[in-house]
């Protein structure tokens, strides 16, 4: 008699864990909504609530309303960039099975930066579409490059080798960005935006062209959740389960690269977000990518919005680029992961 | 052991010793040659005779300003900074037995750079105080990285990864401070981000010379113990080296020298990392690498600065040149270690 009840047990556990995860999801969305509101209301200039509502409904009559009107596209950009980077980080950690994978650490964002700078300086690219294609191409090339170097030889892509290859590539690319930009007085003013990422100065005109890229990237990445779950078991086991390992890995990586490249094309390189967010989300929902990926998206958006708001508050009347804030939050986190995990020896 | 073999060993050792000194002498000559080249050949060519007369204090119309005010301080600073980075870098690499554990990879250079830029821009400090500030901060960062990476002993891998994290954070601190600067000058920013000897003044050389004498002397006086550390802590202890005391001395010396140089030229990318391995490749591993590595550092900075100024299209700070040079080498190192499977 008792035996007959036992099949119910796992199902109830599963149901309960689903309930907890759903609760977390609701909570996270609530936080996101709160941060969206903060991002529109908080800034260098104090704006009255009436002006904020007026601006949200499209009026730009006085300076307060105009200030809020500038914050709206900025908030939208932070939302999308954060979601893209959080998701890209989760996918990269899944694809490489490496806890230190992150678009910033792996030099992917710097690669996109370099590609855009080279395109602007030497090939006179000007249209928004060309920008994004160039950035995606740069991101893809540097991702393949870093991963190839990091995974040469015995032991495959260990965290140390990947991080070192990424760091070296980042420094080299960063040097090259300077080398390309420095003699060009006409674009040298923009050198900062290619070294440090930020979401300031966003307009809907600039955001619009990346939307298709982001949409495709989001779709590919989210659809690869099940494949990433198989890959997490190890290549042999995944192949045994009928997964075409190389194809699955390439598809997921393509999604992540689209997301990073498109984001870097408008924001510049923003580091560490893709590292921090998936780790935090894993604490909440565990390692199942079907939950982890959407959570990383929302979590990434939350973190980037929060970092942007903080950057506006701490350095008044100036603003702190969001790339600086994420590095300040993310680097200690990186160290924490290194200390906590028994990182495989080289 | 027969006296014949003994003689052969002695003779071999002497031969290697002579070779070592020949190679070090060659490096010294090269440094002097490039030094002389930077003094006499630039946008315009000054005859060597005029250069010599300027150096002796004579007033040569046309040459006194170019050589005495522009080229000489720049070349002197390049040599001093190169010596400092080369010496400090190799000391760390030998002590931690890992070429990746150089001060510019594990965050000590960026710590000193962040402190210097903080002192100059936010506290309005000038001159030697900046160097002192940078040295203290560099020591603090070294302590932090060391402390954060020790858990059941310091594992090399963890130390390097923690260092990468720390330097990423410090670099964003530098970027933040630069963004607070009243006028965001690209030249200044370049100095603190990648290192440069632009706008050098001869007065800046004094703290560097002092640091080289004090901290460099400390390192050189410990060079025998440092050699013993290369064999491993246990073996070194068995040979009578007080491991912990030596290590503390070396950290103080190396950080002091690196931070003093960084306070003036900024963290010239990868010089500390490159000098030691290049020197080892040239003179072999039999003798102390401290002096060869210092000379290679001076060569790298001098040549890099010269190339950045005159050989490339456009004028680049030396850090951009060494940065573009050092990164491929780091990648090569990663690739090579995979093939040999040994430790880095």
ipTM score here?
Answer: 0.76
What's the angle, vertex CA B134, arms to CA B116 and CA B175, rounded to 5?
Answer: 35
Cβ contact A293:A89 at 8 Å: no
Task: Please indicate whether, in this complex, the C-beta atoms of A164 and B337 are within 8 angstroms of each other.
Answer: no
Backbone angles phi, psi at A154, to 5 degrees: -65, 155
Task: Please indicate whether, in this complex, the C-beta atoms of B180 and A318 are within 8 angstroms of each other.
Answer: yes
Give the one of A165, A183, A320 whose C-beta lies nearest to B334's C-beta.
Answer: A165
CA distance A156 to A179: 33
Q: At what angle do helices A211-223 and A63-96 cross, to 10 degrees?
A: 40
Cβ contact B81:B264 at 8 Å: yes
Chain B, residues 165-194, CB within 8 A of chain A, namely 165-166, 168-169, 171-173, 175-176, 179-180, 184, 186, 189-190, 193-194
Give the one of A172, A188, A323 whose C-beta lies nearest to B186's C-beta.
Answer: A188
- Give the model's pLDDT for residue A5: 47
3-state class of B41 per DSSP? strand
Task: Give me the DSSP letters along A111-157.
Answer: HHHHHHHHHHHHS---SHHHHHHHHHHHHHHHHHHHHHHHH-STTSS
The model carries a pTM of 0.81
Backbone angles phi, psi at B169, to 5 degrees: -65, -45
Cβ contact A169:A110 at 8 Å: yes
Residue A167: closest CA among chain B residues belongs to which residue?
A: B164
Q: Where are the alpha helices (DSSP H) in chain B?
A: 3-40, 48-55, 63, 72-95, 108-117, 128-149, 156-180, 186-194, 205-211, 217-221, 223-229, 233-238, 243-265, 271-283, 290-306, 318-340
| All residues at 6 or more sequence positions from B86 whose CB lies less than 8 Å from its CB, including other chains | B271, B272, B275, B276, B279, B293, B294, B295, B296, B297, B298, B300
Task: Please indicate whether, in this complex, the C-beta atoms of B176 and A324 are within 8 angstroms of each other.
Answer: yes
CA distance B41 to B82: 20
What's the angle, vertex CA A234, arms to CA A233 and CA A239, rounded to 5?
Answer: 95
Below-70 pLDDT ranges, chain B: 1, 151-156, 182-188, 337-344
CA distance B119 to A300: 35
Give the one of A175, A195, A335 whose C-beta lies nearest to B269's C-beta.
Answer: A175
Task: Please indicate whether, in this complex, the C-beta atoms of A328 and B162 are within 8 angstroms of each other.
Answer: no
Below-50 pLDDT ranges, chain A: 1-7, 343-346
- Give the model's pLDDT for residue A41: 79
- Give the model's pLDDT for residue A86: 92
CA distance B51 to B114: 37
A77-195+204-301 architecture in CATH?
Orthogonal Bundle (1.10)
Contacts 24+ apart (CB under 8 A), A183-189: A183/B313, A183/B314, A183/B315, A184/A121, A187/A117, A187/A120, A187/A121, A188/B186
Cβ contact A304:A277 at 8 Å: no
Ordered structural domains, chain B, with CATH:
83-340 (1.10.3470.10)
Task: Please indicate whether, in this complex, the C-beta atoms of A338 and B165 are within 8 angstroms of each other.
Answer: yes
Residue A165 with chain B: CB contacts under 8 Å: 331, 334
- Give the model's pLDDT for residue B213: 93
CA distance B227 to B222: 9
């Amino acid at each position: 008699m008792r035996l007959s009840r036992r099949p119910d047990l796992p199902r109830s556990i599963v149901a309960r864990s689903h309930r907890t995860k759903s609760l977390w999801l609701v909570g996270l969305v609530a936080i996101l909504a709160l941060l969206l509101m903060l991002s529109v209301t908080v800034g260098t200039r104090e704006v009255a609530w009436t002006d904020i509502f007026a601006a949200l409904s499209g009026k730009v009559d006085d300076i307060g309303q105009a200030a809020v009107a500038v914050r709206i596209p900025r908030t939208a950009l932070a939302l999308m960039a954060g979601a893209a980077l959080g998701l890209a980080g989760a996918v990269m950690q899944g694809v490489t099975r490496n806890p230190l994978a992150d678009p910033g650490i792996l030099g992917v964002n710097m690669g996109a930066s370099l590609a855009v700078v080279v395109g602007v300086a030497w090939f006179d690219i000007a249209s928004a579409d060309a920008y994004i294609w160039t950035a995606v191409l740069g991101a893809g090339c540097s991702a393949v490059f870093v991963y190839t170097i990091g995974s040469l030889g015995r032991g495959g892509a260990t965290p140390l080798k990947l991080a070192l290859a990424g760091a070296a590539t980042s420094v080299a690319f960063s040097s090259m960005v300077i080398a390309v930009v420095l003699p060009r007085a006409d674009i040298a003013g923009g050198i900062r935006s290619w070294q440090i990422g930020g979401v300031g100065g966003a307009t809907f005109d600039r955001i619009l062209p990346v939307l298709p890229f982001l949409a495709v990237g989001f779709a590919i990445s989210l659809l690869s959740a099940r494949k990433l779950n198989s890959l997490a078991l190890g290549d042999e086991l995944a192949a045994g389960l009928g997964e075409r390992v190389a194809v699955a890995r390439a598809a997921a990586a393509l999604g992540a690269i689209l997301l990073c490249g498109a984001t870097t094309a408008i924001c510049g390189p923003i580091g560490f977000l893709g590292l921090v967010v998936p780790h935090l989300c894993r604490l909440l929902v565990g390692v199942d990518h079907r939950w982890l990926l959407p959570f990383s998206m929302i979590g990434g958006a939350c973190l980037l919005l929060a970092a942007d708001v903080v950057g506006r508050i701490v350095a008044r009347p100036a603003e702190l680029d969001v790339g600086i804030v994420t590095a300040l939050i993310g680097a200690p986190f990186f160290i924490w992961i290194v200390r906590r995990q028994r990182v495989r020896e080289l | 052991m027969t006296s014949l073999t003994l003689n052969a060993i002695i003779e071999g050792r002497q031969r290697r010793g002579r070779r070592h000194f020949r190679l070090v002498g060659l490096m010294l000559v090269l440094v002097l040659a490039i030094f002389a080249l930077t003094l006499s050949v630039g946008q315009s060519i000054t005859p060597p005779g005029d250069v010599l007369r300027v150096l002796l204090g004579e007033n040569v119309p046309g040459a006194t300003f170019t050589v005495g005010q522009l080229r000489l301080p720049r070349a002197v600073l390049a040599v001093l900074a190169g010596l400092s980075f080369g010496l400090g870098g190799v000391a760390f690499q030998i002590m931690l037995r890992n070429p990746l554990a150089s001060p510019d990879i594990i965050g000590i250079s960026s710590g000193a750079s962040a402190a210097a830029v903080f002192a100059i821009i936010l506290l309005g400090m000038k001159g030697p105080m900046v160097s002192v500030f940078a040295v203290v901060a560099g020591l603090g960062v070294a302590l932090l990285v060391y402390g954060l990476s020790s858990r059941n002993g310091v594992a090399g891998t963890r130390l390097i990864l923690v260092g990468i994290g720390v330097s990423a954070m410090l670099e964003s601190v530098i970027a933040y401070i630069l963004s607070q600067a009243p006028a965001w000058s690209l030249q200044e920013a370049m100095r603190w981000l990648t290192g440069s000897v632009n706008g050098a003044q001869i007065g800046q050389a004094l703290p560097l010379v002092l640091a080289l004498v004090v901290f460099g002397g400390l390192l050189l006086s410990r060079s025998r113990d440092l050699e013993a550390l290369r064999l491993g802590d246990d073996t070194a202890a068995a040979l009578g080296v007080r491991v912990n005391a030596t290590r503390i001395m070396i950290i103080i010396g190396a950080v002091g020298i690196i931070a003093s140089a960084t306070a003036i030229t900024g963290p010239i990318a990868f010089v500390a990392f490159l000098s030691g391995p290049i020197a080892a490749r040239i003179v072999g591993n039999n003798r102390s690498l401290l002096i060869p590595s210092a000379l290679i550092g001076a060569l790298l900075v001098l040549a890099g600065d010269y190339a950045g100024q005159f050989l490339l299209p456009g004028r680049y700070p030396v850090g951009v040149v060494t940065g573009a040079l050092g990164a491929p080498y780091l990648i090569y190192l990663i690739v090579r270690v995979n093939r040999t499977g040994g430790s880095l």
